Structure 1
């Protein structure tokens, strides 16, 4: 996350929490009261004893270079509330309220902490030696022909699965959309499982989405028809992939479920962290981080993944500028990039990205769809917009309207819960808002007001 010896911000620490309850409990432990024998080292280690309900205090140790955590408490969450609280004591947010409540100074680790840290160093050294040995062996024993044959076998399995799915969609239309509600979800789940067997996880995910549409509310037959058409377009794209332009072919491979390589030209820049939020499907938590390059003018998406209660990495402070190198992924309309080495995190502030009207935002999304028809949304910045209720105020629906025009964008339903923060920021006046514009509406993620240059996080 940071170089050893560089203290994190409070926001970076709280972003590690596996859930809201852990975040709240960790914040309560971010004060001196229950802690003793705290310390840190210039090599990225932090430790401390936290008084609990038992006679013995909990022993908490953190390696910030991982990051990795250990604690003698019985919690199954990772990191636990004690690790979060200790990191909050150690964090530096530039105020005495958190970072200076207790002295977590540099020093030698006690035996109970050093034992765990030494084990981590030994395992890291062994892993590095193994990686070097494997790299040396691969350099001398790489078999491009074997790799090509494996790729061909997987492509053949995906093709067989795509043909089966095409027939399934044809049967759906022949039987009538009304029959989809009567057949239930089981048939869709069976079809999705067959796509997994065909090594096409992207197709499997879209099939499961189709299965959730029948009976989902008013207008579901229209939504089912639209999503079925998009899925069939993807299937045909795979079956005719040799006839597609190279960028679009890469996009089809990615949407089907093949890995998208990060082999674009690396871009080093000062990146403003526009937003960071997590989504979970019950098994995997996906973190989406939007960045904007000050010099390059590029907008990039960094993804992180966490499983089994683990918080995804990386965690970046919204509103700050980081100096880093990003390597873009390939494919038509792809904004995803891999985060390389960070050389520093700057001060908060900085102007928002250049923006435009709500009409320009819709046009930008439409243009992106030409390169990637399966794109759910596109990052845009709206300037001089005001928040107004959409229709009857009692519905709780909102929209963003141009202050000097007649156009407006509906706010996506998933964003209504955070609208009051945006309404309070605007105070009825125009604001600048960054978010994702898609077929469900606009999802506001960050905002700036005329009275303050700081980035206000809306998620």
Structure 2
């Protein structure tokens, strides 16, 4: 049950709510109950055990929310009685069943000529939009960055909206990230200039797509935001391995929940990212919970380095993650450097490091953290991770940590704790 949690904070919150679940019941397909909240009316919570899928009347945007987790913890402990389904449970489950039974629309035979025209029109719109972006970038350098500090979180918002109209969503997302540099404290001008320079590089690369190799052009298109059909990706050669799910992160923006699932092949050592998008109010894909291993085929999107992937055939149900291939701090830095050399817009790269001890180190803005060992030291980029939990799991001893390595250090996503005979995954 804990492996389904979106983050460590949800687990802690759910544990405190287990005793507040009432009017609960379960059967072979579902578990339901009423969970006390801050208001007078308790939240109606249902879990479809065949999914799993979740429904709760609370306003949380996490899936599963803390109320669903609390209900599952109570059910897994055997404290939920078998009962006749509540009305709100039946209504939701029947709605789900109706959607599953709705016949899929008949597939239309694709028209190559029409597809080519649509692709040409999109390329023209993107090119026009990036031309306008180039003018905006030139203005930022010509007039200076003082206006960025005054704009704060609104910096680049209008230009980002224009990139959405130009069908360049990847560029729009990069523009929306610019305010993070503006409000990040001392040295923000250098960080902002770096981000602006990378945008200028993307504009220049897109203008000469025909001169790039196939892999280089695929990387540029991916960052601009050109769509790639899942069917085309699944038609590529698969890579089968036992894939360890080393991290799951949700980012909510524009009424969409983007779920990033990091994987690493236990045999090949290949890193992978499965990225899914879910409309607000719906449950994200939970078929790859953190701390599990799945025997499956992965099909990778075009471009190098190969990272984003689509899951193909699965050969077995997920099992608990109890071990990871060792990796040194030096190897992790080398992986990140290679990724940036092939794709200069790489912000983070999934790595696994072992034999390192997490420690607190003095810092000007409060306690900082690092992972240190015989072959080097990696600074820890907290980034929402529960670093104190990492320290507690370690207990001052070397551990194996998975995370996203970027220019600010390693952002941990999980750690293997326990002794040799009792290895357990702890989400951070």
TM-score class normalised by the smaller sequence: 0.7 to 0.9
1:336 aligns with 2:324: no
Q: What TM-score do the two structures reach when normalised by structure 2?
A: 0.83
Residue 48 (structure 2) aligned to one of 48, 51, 63: 63
SS in 2 for 1:208: helix
CA distance in 1, matches of 2:142, 2:270: 46
State the shift of 1:256 in Å. Answer: 0.5
Q: Unpaired segments of 5 or more residues in structure 1? A: 1-8, 92-97
2:331 pairs with 1:360: yes
1:382 corresponds to: 353
Does the Cα contact within 8 Å between 1:304 and 1:314 map onto a contact in 2? no
Task: Answer whether contact 1:431 1:450 (CA < 8 A) is retained.
Answer: no
**Counterparts of 1:111 and 1:77 in 2: how far apart (Å)?**
22
Structure 2 CA distance for partners of 1:353 and 1:290, relative to 1, 3 Å: farther
Deviation at 1:282, TM superposition (A): 6.9
Task: Give the deviation of 1:60 after TM superposition.
Answer: 5.9
TM-superposition CA deviations, 1:376-427 (whole Å, max 9, x none): 011222222222343459830122222x24x322111425x62222222333
Aligned equivalent of 1:40: 27
Tell me the equivalent position of 2:79. 101
Deviations 1:80-119 (A, max 9, x none): 766555444444xxxxxx2x223449xx868885565445
How far 1:207 moved relative to its partner?
2.2
Give the one of 366, 371, 379 matched to 1:400.
371
How high is the TM-score relative to the length of structure 1? Answer: 0.78
Count of residues in Structure 1 that have an aligned counterpart in Structure 2 = 420
- The 3-state SS of whatever aligns with 1:433 is strand
- Which position in structure 2 is the counterpart of 1:271? 243
Question: Separation in 2 of the partners of 1:226 and 1:424?
Answer: 36
The residue aligned with 2:97 is 121
Inter-CA distance 379–173: structure 2 relative to 1 (3 Å threshold): same
Q: Distance in 1 between matches of 2:200 and 2:12?
A: 45
User: Which residue of the partner structure matches residue 4 of structure 1?
Assistant: none
Q: Counterpart of 2:123 in 1: which secondary structure? A: helix
Counterpart-to-counterpart distance in 1, 2:43 and 2:366: 49
Match of 1:94 in 2: none
State how far apart, in whole Å, the 1-side matches of 2:365 and 2:277 are: 38
CA distance in 1 between partners of 2:286 and 2:404 (Å) = 21
| Deviation of the 1:164 alpha carbon | 1.3
Please give the secondary structure, in 2, of the residue aligned with 1:374: coil
Q: Which residue of 2 aligns with 1:11?
A: 3
More displaced stretch, 178-187 vs 382-391: 178-187
Separation in structure 2 between the aligned mates of residue 421 and residue 408 of structure 1, nearest angstrom? 19
Distance 1:81 1:293, change over 3 A: closer
Q: What's the secondary structure of 2:274's corresponding residue?
A: strand
Please name the residue that 1:194 is paired with.
162
Structure 1: how far apart are the matches of 2:21 and 2:382?
Answer: 42
Instruction: In structure 2, list runs of 5 or more residues that go unmatched.
Output: none
Contact 2:322 2:416 in 1 (8 A): no
> Structure 1 329/440 Cα, relative in aligned 2: closer, same or farther at 3 Å?
same
CA distance in 2: counterparts of 1:320 and 1:242, whole angstroms: 42
2:257 maps to which of 277, 281, 285 = 285
Q: Is the 8 A contact 1:290 1:299 kept in 2?
A: yes
| Kept after mapping to 2: 8 A contact 1:40/1:46 | yes
What is the aligned-residue RMSD (CA, Å)?
3.6
- CA distance in 1: counterparts of 2:20 and 2:178, whole angstroms: 52
Task: Give the superposition deviation at 1:217.
Answer: 2.3
- Cα deviation for residue 186 of structure 1 reads 5.4
3-state SS, counterpart of residue 242 of structure 1: helix
Larger radius of gyration: 1
Write the distance in 1 (CA, Å) between the matches of 2:149 and 2:35.
56
Is residue 261–residue 329 contact of structure 1 (8 Å, CA) maintained in 2? no
Counterpart in the other structure of 1:3: none
For residues 221-240 of structure 1, the C-alpha deviation after alignment (integer angstroms, 9 at most, x for no partner) is 21122111111000111111
| SS class of match (2:170) | helix
Q: Cα gap change, 1:182/1:418 in structure 2, threshold over 3 Å: closer, same or farther?
A: closer
CA spacing shift, 1:116–1:196, aligned 2, 3 Å: closer
Partners in 2 of 1:118 and 1:236 — Cα distance? 53
Task: Name 2:284's counterpart in structure 1.
Answer: 312
